[in-house]
């Protein structure tokens, strides 16, 4: 079945540091890939997505590239801010199931200090 594996946290960085959160996936079909972010006390917000191989999703300085050959969708940001502190979830959905089920990784907590 489909699955998502992402690096364990917490990831602790100083402001303006470079961020990478690793995500790899296993899927039988042709998945769409997502990064969601959850700020404290809030619901999940879609951060970015990519729907096919070599697509790059980007938003708010975050980027991730859909790599089919390595089945990866790593999240990167060149310079993090304190306000980026949150939990980040990598997820996929499969067109074989009509995109009805999102499959999530366990989440990675990011802590950014001033």
Where do contacts with another protein occur on this chain (CB under 8 A)?
A: 4, 32, 34, 36, 41-46, 49, 51, 89, 91, 93, 95, 97-107
> Which CB sits closer to another protein, 17 or 65?
65
DSSP line for 36-78:
EEE-TTS-EEEEEEE-STT-EEEETTEEEE-BTTTTB--EEES
Closer Cβ to another protein, 42 or 69, answer by number: 42
Closest CB to another protein among residues 17, 87: 87
| Pick 16 or 54: Cβ nearer another protein | 54
Residues 10, 110 contacting (CB under 8 angstroms): yes
Q: Closest distance between another protein and the C-beta of residue 21, in Å?
A: 14
Q: Tell me the closest approach of the beta carbon of residue 69 to another protein, in angstroms.
A: 22
Say how far apart CA 97 and CA 69 lie, in whole Å: 23
CB of 56 to another protein, least distance (A): 17
Of 2, 20, 34, nearest to 110 by C-alpha is 20
Contact assessment for residue 64 and residue 108, using Cβ atoms and an 8 Å cutoff: no
Q: What is the closest distance, in whole angstroms, from the C-beta atom of residue 93 to another protein in the complex?
A: 5
Bridge partners of 108, per DSSP, are 88
């Amino acid at each position: 079945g489909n699955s998502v594996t992402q690096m364990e946290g917490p990831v602790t960085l100083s402001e303006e540091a470079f961020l990478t959160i690793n995500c790899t996936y296993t899927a039988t079909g042709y998945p769409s890939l997502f990064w969601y972010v959850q700020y404290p006390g809030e619901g999940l917000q879609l951060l970015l997505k990519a729907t096919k191989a070599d697509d790059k999703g980007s938003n708010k300085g975050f980027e991730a590239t859909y790599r089919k050959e390595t089945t990866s969708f790593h999240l990167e940001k060149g310079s993090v801010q304190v306000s980026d502190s949150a939990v980040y979830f990598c997820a996929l959905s499969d067109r074989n199931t009509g995109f009805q089920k999102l499959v999530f990784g366990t989440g990675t907590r990011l802590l950014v200090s001033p």
